[in-house]
Amino acid sequence: MHSHLTTLTKNKIPLITLVGQPNSGKTTLFNYLSGKRYKTVNYPGSTVEYSISKILGKFAVNANILDSPGIISLIPSSPDEKISVDSLFAHPKHGIPDIVAVTVDASQLSRHLFLVKQLIDAKFKVIVVLTMLDILYKKGIDISESKLSEILNCKVVKVNGINGKGIHELLQAISEDIDDVKYDSSISAKVFSNADDLKANLIESYDEIARIEKEVFFERKISAANGKLDLQKVNESIVVLNSPRFLNKPDAATLKIDKIVLHKFWGILIFFAVMTLTFTSIFYLAAPLMDLVNEFFSVLSDTASNLIGNNWFGDLVSNGIISGLGSVLVFLPQILILFLILGLLEDSGYLARGAMLIDKPLSKIGLNGKSFVPMLSGFACAIPAMMAARTIANKRERMLTIFIIPLMSCSARLPVYALLIAFLIPQDKPYIGGLVLAAIYVFSILSSIVIASLVNKFQGKLIKEKDDSSFILELPTYKKPKLSIVINNTVKNAKQYVMKAGPVIIYLSLVLWLLTFFPNYDPVVDEAGKTPEEITQLKDAERISGSYASSLGKIIEPVMKPIGMDWRVGVSLIATFAAREVFVSSLALIFRITGDGEEDMQNSILTSMREATVGDTGQKLFTTASTAGLIVFFVFALQCLSTVAIAKKETGGWRIPILQLVIFTALAYIMAFITYNGLRAVGIS
């Protein structure tokens, strides 16, 4: 049986799993070994991701390398960690790793050796990869890898994942160990039956690590003297460093910066400055890029329409497919910029401080400092935001964070607001638009605070969850962000958005096109004495009023009336459940607007909006009151099927997504009703 297992291992490509604590340089090393050509996969039935790749050909080691999420210990304390740990012992797809390479921050040896000890005790074949040596050297200390290797009885290498120093030694160690791997079926983590045993074991582990530390550190000047290590001298000097206080001091510059960043006055000021800067850059930096994308797709749509001709197929391609595609890609600039900024903030070390600063206020409304990053991401897109919530260990807080994320004003709402605000404000005063937009954001943040605290109170009575709310977070050393890694992650997140939201949006815009084009696709109109252009417009109008969309819209018209809207807006609002941004293209479709080269899409929609009347009454459809009502509707409504799908996945059931859908949509309707009728009551129609 044993020999059979061995052959199996020999035949498959060996698997090397990278394990490490957060901030231990694990991903940097992974990127170096994989050459960034990896694929990111979810563990089955979860949103925890791992990346896998073959080790680059130039390194001449035939093995797969797997990057798993950072863990602190083999005893998991959040669902996210549990999946990572379980998969380490038995990966659902790749089995048990042949080698576990653990990244260890040499400047924080004791805390990081803890995980190494657990892995060795679990009987994994371990290679220790020492990282962050530059920080250690700055303290005037060096570490002897041969000593550490001797004590731990496993290979130890020093690696710089940025410039690749030491990679060769690591690969050497890997190829030696691979030849020598014997599958041991006894791989398992220690299980403790009671809390006291666990505590005793933890303390014992750290005591042992303290003994190891005393033997491996030595003063750096000894190695600098002749360039080569003299073990004898190392042994002599190690004694000097025995005082743990010497290693205990955190980075001095970091402590100084924190004095300001966490200051009662300056800290708050910096926090708001960072937030303001983040949001303004999302809007202002993205705007020209978004215009560019818009322009590109409108030219493409016109070209296609001209090439194919004025028939159903031309209409399908230009209005159905190309516009649908455009409505997905138009948000890409914003999402890229948000993730870029978030990445820079995280890599520099600021995000952890932001989370710490906001923990207290957020805990008052049942959330956690760790809700900060998910909520912030929610302003770009709810999909990555809900996935980011999995770092929150406490279930109740995680659920509540996911619950309120749809209230964060995601970037998909921006084009809708942009259009509706452009309609509301005088054309010669565009700066008012910025103020109105800011007001909408403040309003949506305030609303989400109120709703979170209400839900928190209400839910506290419904679910008697044990209150084990926790906020323990390492404040990493400040450092200059590594742009290549940040960009890499940004691209990964943006891809995720396009792949997840893209297909849904395109299918739905196709369905919408079908509904607006059929069954009356070739209406008969009186062509006498009319120009070809007028005939086309007349035909378009005829076709839409006899379409499926129109019949569908007329069914829901009674619901739309109380908020001052008609069936056309109703159909657009239904279409919006595909994705909010569809609203604009859907209005364009329903009002049959095609860019005519001189006017851009938004202006032609605005013109049609100003001309639109309710039925034959001549009464204007879009008024100040009804448009304001519509904006309020968009603040609250959960109109995004992808969000519902992700919420179901992340919360492990339909309860929360259905509650969200019902509560937020009802709230949207009620608030829009109040806004519309309230404004009319005070004389603003």
Element at 100 (helix H, strand E): strand 99-105
For residues 181 and 10, give the distance between their C-alpha atoms in angstroms, rounded to a whole number. Answer: 9
Which letter does DSSP use for residue 578 in this model? T
Contact between 255 and another protein per CB under 8 A: yes
For residues 224 and 542, give the distance between their C-alpha atoms in angstroms, rounded to a whole number. Answer: 86
Cβ atoms 122, 188 nearer than 8 A: yes
Residue 103: φ, ψ to 5°: -85, 135
Contact between 108 and another protein per CB under 8 A: yes
Contact between 191 and another protein per CB under 8 A: no
Q: C-alpha distances in angstroms, 392 versus 12, 355, 373, 377, 526?
A: 37, 12, 10, 15, 65
Contact between 254 and another protein per CB under 8 A: yes
Sheet order of strands, 155-158 included? 39-42, 49-54, 64-67, 15-20, 99-105, 126-131, 155-158
| Interaction pattern, residues 16-55, with another protein; x per rule: CB under 8 A | ----------------------------------------
Cβ atoms 319, 513 nearer than 8 A: yes
Minimum Å distance from CB 379 to another protein? Answer: 22
Q: C-alpha distances in angstroms, 576 versus 182, 216, 440?
A: 57, 62, 19
Site stretch for another protein (CB under 8 A), options 192-200, 480-488, 507-515, 564-572: 192-200
Question: Structure tokens of 678?
Answer: 């309230």
- Half-sphere exposure for 224 (CA within 13 Å, toward CB): 8
Among 38, 114, 633, 676, binds another protein (CB under 8 A): 114
For another protein, the closer of residues 356 and 601 by Cβ is 356
Site stretch for another protein (CB under 8 A), options 52-60, 109-117, 641-649, 656-664: 109-117
Q: Hey, which residues between 532 and 591 contact another protein (CB under 8 A)? A: none
Residue among 501, 534, 509, 525 at smallest CA distance from 644? 501
| Interaction pattern, residues 336-365, with another protein; x per rule: CB under 8 A | ----------------x--xxx-xxx-x--
Contact between 195 and another protein per CB under 8 A: yes
For another protein, the closer of residues 108 and 301 by Cβ is 108
CA-based max dimension of the chain: 106
Q: How many residues in the shown chain lie near another protein by CB under 8 A?
A: 50
For another protein, the closer of residues 75 and 514 by Cβ is 75
Minimum Å distance from CB 370 to another protein? Answer: 11
Among 2, 228, 249, 464, binds another protein (CB under 8 A): 249
Q: Hey, which residues between 265 and 284 contact another protein (CB under 8 A)? A: 267-268
Exposed / middle / buried, residue 370 (Cβ in 10 Å: 0-12, 13-18, 19+): buried
Minimum Å distance from CB 125 to another protein? Answer: 23
Contact between 461 and another protein per CB under 8 A: no
Q: Hey, which residues between 620 and 659 contact another protein (CB under 8 A)? A: none
Contact between 474 and another protein per CB under 8 A: yes
Site stretch for another protein (CB under 8 A), options 72-80, 559-567, 574-582, 638-646: 72-80
For residues 23 and 161, give the distance between their C-alpha atoms in angstroms, rounded to a whole number. Answer: 13
Among 2, 4, 58, 245, binds another protein (CB under 8 A): 245
User: Left (φ > 0), alpha (ψ -120 to 50) or beta: where does 227 sit?
Assistant: left
Contact between 468 and another protein per CB under 8 A: yes
Element at 65 (helix H, strand E): strand 64-67
For another protein, the closer of residues 238 and 357 by Cβ is 357
- Half-sphere exposure for 177 (CA within 13 Å, toward CB): 25
Minimum Å distance from CB 131 to another protein? Answer: 14
For residues 414 and 394, give the distance between their C-alpha atoms in angstroms, rounded to a whole number. Answer: 32
Cβ atoms 329, 506 nearer than 8 A: no
Among 15, 18, 66, 72, binds another protein (CB under 8 A): 72
Minimum Å distance from CB 401 to another protein? Answer: 17
Site stretch for another protein (CB under 8 A), options 41-49, 249-257, 417-425, 537-545: 249-257
For another protein, the closer of residues 240 and 268 by Cβ is 268
For another protein, the closer of residues 281 and 363 by Cβ is 363
For another protein, the closer of residues 269 and 555 by Cβ is 269
Among 98, 258, 540, 566, binds another protein (CB under 8 A): 258
Among 122, 187, 262, 275, binds another protein (CB under 8 A): 262
Sign of the CA dihedral with 4 first, then 5, 8, and 10 last: negative
Among 89, 137, 206, 518, binds another protein (CB under 8 A): 206
**CB environment 178-208: b (16+ within 10 A), e (fewer):** beeeeeeeebebeeeeeeeeeeeeeeebeee
For another protein, the closer of residues 266 and 654 by Cβ is 266
Annotate 582-650 with DSSP letters as a single string.
HHHHHHHHHTT----SSS-HHHHHHHHHHH-BSTTS--BSS-HHHHHHHHHHHHH----HHHHHHHHHH
Question: Structure tokens of 587?
Answer: 């209005």
For another protein, the closer of residues 358 and 376 by Cβ is 358
Minimum Å distance from CB 608 to another protein? Answer: 50
Among 9, 46, 47, 77, binds another protein (CB under 8 A): 77
Residue 107 CB contacts under 8 Å (≥ 6 apart), including other chains: 132, 133, 135, 136, 139
For residues 67 and 88, give the distance between their C-alpha atoms in angstroms, rounded to a whole number. Answer: 11
Cβ atoms 366, 400 nearer than 8 A: yes
Contact between 424 and another protein per CB under 8 A: no
**Start-to-end Cα distance in the chain:** 83
Classify 203 as helix, strand or coil.
helix
Contact between 242 and another protein per CB under 8 A: no
Minimum Å distance from CB 467 to another protein? Answer: 9
Task: Give me the residue label for tokens 């031309």.
Answer: 314
For another protein, the closer of residues 246 and 507 by Cβ is 246
Contact between 391 and another protein per CB under 8 A: no
Annotate 660-674 with DSSP letters as a single string.
HHHHHHHHHHHHHHH
Site stretch for another protein (CB under 8 A), options 200-208, 433-441, 557-565, 665-673: 200-208
Site stretch for another protein (CB under 8 A), options 68-76, 291-299, 494-502, 613-621: 68-76
Q: Hey, which residues between 476 and 505 contact another protein (CB under 8 A)? A: 476-477
Q: Hey, which residues between 364 and 383 contact another protein (CB under 8 A)? A: 369
How many CB atoms sit inside 10 A of residue 587's CB? 21
Among 122, 162, 187, 202, binds another protein (CB under 8 A): 202
* Mode of pairing for the β-strands spanning 15-20 and 64-67: parallel
Among 107, 160, 493, 651, binds another protein (CB under 8 A): 107
Minimum Å distance from CB 475 to another protein? Answer: 4
User: Left (φ > 0), alpha (ψ -120 to 50) or beta: where does 166 sit?
Assistant: left
Q: Contact residues for another protein (CB under 8 A)?
A: 72-73, 75, 77, 107-108, 110-111, 114, 195-196, 198-199, 202-203, 206-207, 244-245, 247-250, 254-255, 258-259, 262, 264, 267-268, 352, 355-357, 359-361, 363, 369, 466, 468, 470-477
